[in-house]
Structure 1
Amino acid sequence: MKCRILHESSGRMRVHIDQFRMTLQQADLIEYAIRSLDCVENVRVYERTGNAIISYRRGNRRAVVEALSELNYEDEKFQALVPEHSGREMRNKYEEKLLFSVLNKGFRTLFFPSALNTAVTVARAIPYFVKGASALLRGKIEVSVLDAAAIGASLLRGDPDTAGNVIFLQNLGDILEDWTREKSVDDLAEMMSLHADRVWIKCPDGEEVLMNTDEVQAGDLVIVRTSNVIPLDGIVVSGEASVNQASMTGEAAPVFKTEGASVFAGTVPNEGELVYRVTQKAGKGKYDQIVKMIEESEKLKSNTVTAAYHLADQLVTGAFAGMGLTYLLTRNITRAMSFLMVDFSCALKLSMPLAVMSAMRDAGKYEISVKGGKFLEAVSEAETIVFDKTGTLTYATPKVADIVTFDGWSETEALRLAACMEEHFPHSIANAVVREAADRKISHEECHTKVEYIVAHGIATTINGKRAVIGSHHFVMEDEKICVSDAEREKYNAIPANYSPLYLAVDGKLAAVLCISDPIREEAAGVIRQLHRMGLKKICMMTGDNSTTAGEVAKKLCLDEFHAEVLPEDKAAFVRSEHACGRKVIMVGDGINDTPALSEADVGLAVSNGAPIAQEVADIVISNGSLQEIVRMRQIAEALMKRIHGNYRNIMGFNSVLIGLGAMGLLMPATASLLHNMSTIGIGLYSMTPLIREE
């Protein structure tokens, strides 16, 4: 691709793409291709001018220049980097709408004769009259009725300029509100879009192969098991499972799927196994389904915003009552019209969603995906926070520190079998086992029959007709009644207590104990201290790990309390007990066994490198995996509620003053309308500013 460098400084350059006209799709391709470079910090492409501004780490100028020269619009490698919806087309559409609206108003004011301007104003007023009349016919006195009354009263008084200004400013507000809503839906859908990188494919010979999702074609057979997110749309050809479809359809209860049933990308089997035939390639289908779901839901509104909306509609009736009372007392229609020209609802209904979206945008800067404004409100009000241990308070990349073998098993064979079983179920401990086998160059092709995942316990399968299990002490040693021979008892008792043990047994005999090193995250202690200072009254940990290991972690982190060797239903029950005490709860987890509590809590918060089902169920997902972002999330949530309440006071106070001055005859209706609409846009623009300063 031919480019010219227009200007550059250390770590920054502005380039011009030499072509006659750049399309939106080409601009997206350039932006995402350059952004994919590790050395690039930020890039913005302007399709109207054909320019791109690139910020990069110093010392990488050559890499950026080479990447620009290698760009090719036809290269599928670059095309694959562009998401299905980038937002560029939507942004252009609304920028053009705003520009056209302002230019149109200016042109008519400067060049149209008065009579023609009046005719245009009357014509533009008709839709407002229709909407107002429609609301009245439904028996509702809403903002549309107030708008129609204000415009109509101005026209009847022979003041088309005021009516035109009301229409113009109302139109600007509508464009901004539509833009905000569409952008919020677009951003939220992108946050919720599936990012499943790899998937199990069933080959014609029956072999299972792990493949990149973007390589899967329509017609391929995909295997999904308990807790694995269904990566693509398709039709079930064999197996049966209960599937959690809440992320797509909102259904609370799992839906039973068997042969012939449709499955949707982004849903998760709670229990069972399915083989299905793909009908939609990667990147198709789910986005539009998410958009539809969001548009039909109330996820974007917090309870405070919803209350403000209801109040705004109720105040319309008060405006008409005030108008009537003022006219009765003063017999002055100009004073009475102050109640029509100034209303509270415009500013309330514009600024509130803008504030929520500003908070969600700020969260996105720190790689935090928030699935609705109401969850931000809950984060600000929560008094209790519950942490899972493994992969949450401890690192999400634990390691196999040692393998203690029994009954004649070698470390290599024990690890080979453990990795073969664990690779089917993504969890931080399972990933550690598979990674250790890879580091030791141990191949672990399928050597078992159907794998069964037992939530919060472990995995069971059959090998050469013998039952093999791997999992917790409770599952393997107690439920499966596995015993250790007297000859190996001393070796068993010598296993260090500071490790998280993973037990492997075959044919009723203990084969190995994999000692998992699960160190506490560096930031965990500091995060706990900060959360205490920010008003969290109870910070506790609930884990399925043994009491000794859990106690050490709780002591080091100064937690208020901890519960060890708990089942998923115990975590959910604890959340319910906190609710019974009147406390709102944040649950932080990353595993399959955390999902009941994530669903039960006021806010379910998942870290990105945990089980896919946890991320689907969670209300907030931290993509960079750092616990520090929980503190950031609390700061953003508190700042949002402060802004919402501040906006509410400012809107009510300023507009009340305008109405009062108008009722006293100190402010003309046209001036009151202008000040009201200017304040509405001003508060809206303020609501879009960042909530917290970047560090």
Structure 2
Amino acid sequence: MKFAIKHEIKGRMRIHVAQYRMSCAQADTLLYFLQNDIQVSSAKVYERTGDAVICYDGSRAELIDKLRHFHYEDVEVPNGLIENSGRELNASYQEKLIGRVVRRYASKIFLPYPIRACWTTVKSFRYIWKGIKTLAARKIEVPVLDATAIGVSILRGDTETAGSIMFLLGIGELLEEWTHKKSVGDLARTMSLNVGKVWLKKDGVEVLVGAKEVREGDEVVVHMGNVIPFDGVVTDGEAMVNQASLTGESEPVRRISENYVYAGTVVEEGELTILVKAVGGSSRYDKVVQMIEESQKLKSGLESRAEHLADRLVPYSLGGTALTYLLTRNVTKALSILMVDFSCALKLAMPISVLSAIREASFYNVTVKGGKYLEAMAEADTIVFDKTGTLTKAKPTVAKVVSFNGDSPDELLRIAACMEEHFPHSMAKAVVEAAREKGLDHEEMHSKVEYVVAHGISTTINGRKAVIGSYHFVFEDEGAALPEGTKELFESLPEEYSHLYLAIEGQLAAVICIEDPLREEAEAVINSLRRSGIKKIVMMTGDSERTASAIAKRVGVDEYYSEVLPEDKAGFVEREKAAGRKVIMVGDGINDSPALSAADVGIAISDGAEIAREIADIMVSSDDLYQIVTLKLLSDGLMKRIRKNYRVIVGFNTGLILLGVGGVLQPTTSALLHNTSTLVISLKSMQNLLS
């Protein structure tokens, strides 16, 4: 690629690509290439100017060399990324907005008044007809008020006022439509699939392959807690499938042989073998967009109340107009009320505020699935944290493997990895990663695997029963025993680690010691949440009392509970809600899913189990828990903005009405000031809350 460096400071450069015109697809391809380069910290690409701004770490010469060798056709872009990027949407709405403003002022300058008056009268029919249809439906809502204001202005021969009203209404509608579509698109993209690996069934054996290698007609196996990666038909197995991401309904549905299943839904219980019918990623995006559009998820309580209040105020505006005319017999004063209404600003500014906040959250790698969750976040007074992968690091590591049956630690780790590789839990990932780093090959060597949520895994290896999991599962539920002469070794296990127990044929074979260090920022995040208004902070974990106590003391939570089951977490959340508290639940595992679903706001960690991410209302990245604090500040800021908008809209428009009735302002001036204030408030509502 040929390019010129237009501006440069240390760690940042602006380049101009030497080509006649950059398409939206090319801009998205270049942006994807830059964002996936390890030394690029951030990048922006502007297709209109052909420029790219790149912030980078490391070698300048190396980055320039990569750019020189860049070719659009060499970059393998994920399915759906270009089609659903939103870049073309933004460009089209920018053109529409500029076009309307240019046409408005060009017509005022170049068209004679009679032609402008005729054109304004013709355009008014659309608004008047909309008002008539609203009345025919026996509703007195905002379209009636707009139609009356425009119609009366036309009848009085005041086409300039009518034209101004329609122009500002049109700009407002365009801004609302643009913001809504952009926010829905941003949200849908974050909710769309990003599946890397899948279990492909070949000759009766499961093989882990990249999702891009799967073709229509292949069979894939989806284990409990995993997302279904493709649309298809069930050929084997039985499972309860959570379809909340597509239908909005959290109740799982039973799926058996010959049932159709959809990409993006999650196997909550059981296991399915699926014959792939479609491998494209765009269908998932389209379904998510449709779900968001049709559901009420995007609407917060304050937003819904604003819409209802806007419609309820219309009869009062019309009544005030009629009463003023009856008392004063002054058409001008009566029109001053008609030209000013509260509903326009209320209906426009509130949804823009909410959708802009959702968009801003995405800048901080926070995905919010609806405005009502931001409102609930602002009102919350209790937060419950899972420990493993949440307060502790998202990537625990295997510190050591202690053998109890005489086999080598590497052989026991190989067996454990073979069992754990099917299941999405941070402890399981640690075992699999440790085996990979040691180069231990763990091809399928077991029969069907049974996963017991929050307990462990049970299977058969070479005809021998093997279980791996918690102390409670292995020793109490499965009745495993210590091999003779190993009691002292067992009691000397290092206490600073979490322990994963592997038993074969009823005898303890190994204890895998897993280092699960506390996040550096955990204590500071807890303190920041407390300062932001959270009154009760709780930690719940399936780990031992000893480990839970030590972690709870270090981070400074108000309460902690150890050795809990999934139903215990969900039960606690339900009890807190019954006591009148607004509860946030933060977790990352399959065992957190019931509590995430039960909470007023469920927050999942992005590296966690797929079912947790699908069920949760909000998702934060695994890099930094401070994102939860940022989310709380963003939610509080949104509620303050909405309440401020209420006060400004009511105060300003009341002032306009009083000045109009008092004869200080003409209806034209009132209409201009009212519509201008609506635009200004809407544009202010689009600004970042945390800038």
Larger displacement relative to structure 2 (620-629 or 421-430): 620-629
Letter in 2 for 1:17: V
CA–CA distance in 2 between the matches of 1:624 and 1:504? 28
1:50-199 alignment, distance < 5 Å: 51-57=50-56, 60-77=59-76, 82-199=81-198
Partner SS for 1:77: coil
The answer to whether the 8 Å contact 1:28/1:86 transfers is yes
The answer to whether the 8 Å contact 2:27/2:45 transfers is yes
Structure 1 spans left out of the alignment, 5+ residues: none
Letter in 1 for 2:408: S
- The Cα shift of 1:604 comes to 0.3
The answer to whether the 8 Å contact 1:34/1:64 transfers is no
Q: Which residue of 1 aligns with 2:230?
A: 232
- 311, 314, 321: which is aligned to 1:313? 311
1:69-102 residue CA offsets vs partner (Å, 9 max, x unmatched): 2232332535779444111110111111111111
Letter in 1 for 2:391: L
Q: Which residue of 1 aligns with 2:527?
A: 529
- 272, 276, 281: which is aligned to 1:274? 272
Letter in 1 for 2:31: E
- The Cα shift of 1:612 comes to 1.1
The answer to whether the 8 Å contact 1:43/1:52 transfers is no
- The Cα shift of 1:647 comes to 0.8
Q: Answer yes or no: is 1:18 the counterpart of 2:7.
A: no
Distance 1:432 1:680, change over 3 A: same
1:273-302 residue CA offsets vs partner (Å, 9 max, x unmatched): 111122222423100000000000111111
Q: Answer yes or no: is 1:487 the counterpart of 2:485.
A: yes
1:391-412 residue CA offsets vs partner (Å, 9 max, x unmatched): 1111111122222222333312
1:159-185 residue CA offsets vs partner (Å, 9 max, x unmatched): 010001101111000100110111111
Q: Which residue of 2 aligns with 1:354?
A: 352
CA–CA distance in 2 between the matches of 1:84 and 1:510? 54
- The Cα shift of 1:13 comes to 3.6
Identical columns (%): 54
1:218-275 residue CA offsets vs partner (Å, 9 max, x unmatched): 2221110100111122222222211111111123321111222211111111111111
1:247-258 alignment, distance < 5 Å: 247-258=245-256
Q: Answer yes or no: is 1:47 the counterpart of 2:50.
A: no
1:474-623 alignment, distance < 5 Å: 474-623=472-621
CA–CA distance in 2 between the matches of 1:419 and 1:176? 53
CA–CA distance in 2 between the matches of 1:647 and 1:498? 53
Distance 1:406 1:9, change over 3 A: closer
Larger displacement relative to structure 2 (323-332 or 19-28): 19-28
1:387-536 alignment, distance < 5 Å: 387-536=385-534
Larger displacement relative to structure 2 (17-26 or 239-248): 17-26
The answer to whether the 8 Å contact 1:241/1:257 transfers is yes
Partner SS for 1:152: helix
CA–CA distance in 1 between the matches of 2:199 and 2:78? 25
CA–CA distance in 2 between the matches of 1:22 and 1:490? 71
Partner SS for 1:269: strand
Q: Which residue of 2 aligns with 1:245?
A: 243
CA–CA distance in 2 between the matches of 1:621 and 1:19? 39
1:214-229 alignment, distance < 5 Å: 214-229=212-227
Letter in 1 for 2:24: L
Distance 1:626 1:139, change over 3 A: same
The answer to whether the 8 Å contact 1:242/1:271 transfers is yes
- The Cα shift of 1:627 comes to 1.1
Distance 1:236 1:197, change over 3 A: same
- The Cα shift of 1:660 comes to 1.1
Instruction: Give the structure-2-normalised TM-score.
Output: 0.97
CA–CA distance in 2 between the matches of 1:81 and 1:73? 16
- The Cα shift of 1:439 comes to 2.2
CA–CA distance in 2 between the matches of 1:398 and 1:282? 34
- 338, 342, 346: which is aligned to 2:340? 342
Distance 1:289 1:58, change over 3 A: closer
CA–CA distance in 1 between the matches of 2:9 and 2:512? 54
The answer to whether the 8 Å contact 1:367/1:624 transfers is no
1:79-127 residue CA offsets vs partner (Å, 9 max, x unmatched): 7794441111101111111111111111211121211111101111111
1:323-378 residue CA offsets vs partner (Å, 9 max, x unmatched): 11111111111111122211111211221122112222221111111111111111
Q: Which residue of 2 aligns with 1:380?
A: 378
Q: Which residue of 2 aligns with 1:648?
A: 646
Q: Which residue of 2 aligns with 1:331?
A: 329
The answer to whether the 8 Å contact 1:233/1:285 transfers is no
The answer to whether the 8 Å contact 2:459/2:466 transfers is yes
1:130-187 residue CA offsets vs partner (Å, 9 max, x unmatched): 1101100111111100000000010111101000110111100010011011111101
CA–CA distance in 2 between the matches of 1:517 and 1:10? 39
CA–CA distance in 2 between the matches of 1:312 and 1:533? 36
Distance 1:413 1:5, change over 3 A: closer
Partner SS for 2:635: helix
The answer to whether the 8 Å contact 1:226/1:273 transfers is yes
Larger displacement relative to structure 2 (494-503 or 237-246): 494-503
Distance 1:472 1:659, change over 3 A: same
Structure 2 spans left out of the alignment, 5+ residues: none
Letter in 1 for 2:35: R
CA–CA distance in 2 between the matches of 1:262 and 1:296? 22
Distance 1:592 1:115, change over 3 A: same
1:399-430 residue CA offsets vs partner (Å, 9 max, x unmatched): 22222222333312211111100000011100
Letter in 1 for 2:18: D
CA–CA distance in 1 between the matches of 2:339 and 2:302? 26
Larger displacement relative to structure 2 (652-661 or 482-491): 482-491
CA–CA distance in 2 between the matches of 1:20 and 1:84? 22
Partner SS for 1:337: helix
Aligned length: 691
- 662, 670, 673: which is aligned to 1:672? 670
Letter in 1 for 2:478: E
1:181-208 residue CA offsets vs partner (Å, 9 max, x unmatched): 11111011011111221111111x2222
Partner SS for 2:221: strand
The answer to whether the 8 Å contact 2:42/2:56 transfers is no
CA–CA distance in 2 between the matches of 1:64 and 1:490? 57
Partner SS for 1:459: strand
The answer to whether the 8 Å contact 2:183/2:356 transfers is no
Letter in 2 for 1:230: I
Distance 1:3 1:263, change over 3 A: same
The answer to whether the 8 Å contact 1:451/1:459 transfers is yes
- The Cα shift of 1:463 comes to 1.5
The answer to whether the 8 Å contact 2:336/2:670 transfers is yes
Q: Please report the RMSD computed on the Cα atoms of aligned residues, expressed in angstroms.
A: 1.6
The answer to whether the 8 Å contact 1:585/1:603 transfers is yes
1:31-76 residue CA offsets vs partner (Å, 9 max, x unmatched): 3223332333443333333x21322336643333323322323325
Instruction: Give the structure-1-normalised TM-score.
Output: 0.97
The answer to whether the 8 Å contact 1:214/1:282 transfers is no
The answer to whether the 8 Å contact 1:572/1:597 transfers is yes
